[in-house]
């Protein structure tokens, strides 16, 4: 038995190569697992389930081909994924964080952005984006208005990334330890930081496994009864 985890694909019309790599991954990897987990930011932007772009419809069609249990989590790019998307694709929406038992052992799943507590400006934005009042107000606007707002938000996000020190955009070890202790786990899997790696967390006698973003490589974690492995493959 094995479970597959991915995050941060940031699917976008400008990167058809990533989209094609994802469709191949669904067929050859995800659909052969015992469970498939997307830990957020599947899309570069998702402005609502009424998004009828060619990309969104193609992705939904491919996701429908999955025959294994599948789960998805909100991120900072696709926090407006809702019930309609999940009903169409058969995905179950997970809260962030979520504690899941695999092989009778608890594992903590997160997107990872809530761990970046040194990035004060981003944490303020995250709080706003996750506010149901803000989300409902955004969804009350027309699709065209939401697309304009999303475009502006992406530009500001890129500017913030360029201007920020790299260390504040990574997780803080204290927050990692706190989450793992509170949820009583020895393995944490997350994405968001685009820094694929595995780290020991000696304070809980455990590990933190970080998924990578899909760019020149695709990244996934395979969890079996005996081990977890961070793997990559080239995206041509």
pLDDT digits (tens, 9 = 90+) for 5-19: 999 999 999 999 999
Under a CB-based contact definition with an 8 Å cutoff, are residues 32 and 100 in contact? no
Instruction: Please check the confidence at residue 222 and state whether its pLDDT lies above 90.
Output: yes
Calpha distance 216→233 (Å, rounded):
9
pLDDT digits (tens, 9 = 90+) for 16-57: 999 999 999 999 999 999 999 999 999 999 999 999 899 999
Residue among 154, 152, 37, 174 nearest 97 (CA): 37
Region 82-108: what's the mean pLDDT? 98
Instruction: Please check the confidence at residue 143 and state whether its pLDDT lies above 70.
Output: yes
Task: Identify the pLDDT of residue 156.
Answer: 76
Residue among 70, 87, 89, 102 nearest 1 (CA): 102
Under a CB-based contact definition with an 8 Å cutoff, are residues 53 and 92 in contact? no
pLDDT digits (tens, 9 = 90+) for 163-215: 556 666 799 999 999 999 999 999 999 999 999 999 999 999 999 999 999 99
Instruction: Please check the confidence at residue 105 and state whether its pLDDT lies above 70.
Output: yes
Domain residue spans of the chain: 3-234
Calpha distance 194→207 (Å, rounded):
17
Question: Where does the pLDDT of residue 154 fall: very low under 50, low under 70, confident under 90, or very high at 90 and above?
Answer: confident
Task: Identify the pLDDT of residue 151.
Answer: 84
∠ Cα 10 211 99 (to 5°): 105
Return the CATH number of the domain spanning residue range 3-234: 3.60.21.10
Coil, strand or helix at 217:
strand
pLDDT digits (tens, 9 = 90+) for 116-126: 999 998 999 99
What CA–CA distances, in Å, run from 227 to 7, 93, 207, 209, 230?
20, 26, 11, 12, 10
């Amino acid at each position: 038995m094995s479970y597959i985890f991915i995050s941060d694909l940031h699917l976008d019309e400008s990167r058809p190569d990533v989209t094609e790599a994802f469709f191949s991954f669904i067929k050859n990897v995800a659909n052969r697992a015992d469970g498939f987990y997307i830990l957020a930011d599947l899309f570069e932007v998702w402005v609502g389930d009424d998004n009828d772009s060619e990309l969104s419809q193609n992705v939904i069609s491919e996701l429908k081909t999955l025959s294994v249990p599948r789960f998805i989590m909100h991120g900072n790019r696709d926090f407006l994924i809702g019930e309609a998307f999940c009903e169409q694709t058969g995905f179950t929406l997970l809260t962030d964080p979520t504690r899941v038992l695999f092989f009778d052992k608890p594992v903590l799943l997160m997107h990872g952005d809530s761990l970046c507590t040194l990035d004060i400006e981003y944490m303020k934005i995250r709080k706003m984006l996750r506010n149901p009042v803000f989300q409902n107000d955004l969804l009350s606007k027309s699709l065209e208005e939401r697309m304009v707002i999303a475009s502006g938000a992406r530009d500001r996000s890129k500017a913030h990334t360029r201007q920020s020190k790299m260390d504040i955009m990574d997780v803080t070890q204290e927050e990692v330890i706190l989450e793992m202790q509170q949820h009583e786990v020895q393995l944490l899997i997350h994405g968001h930081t685009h820094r694929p790696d595995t780290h020991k967390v000696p304070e809980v006698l455990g590990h933190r496994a970080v998924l990578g973003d899909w760019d020149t490589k695709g990244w996934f974690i395979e969890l079996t009864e005996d081990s977890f492995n961070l793997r990559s493959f080239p995206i041509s």
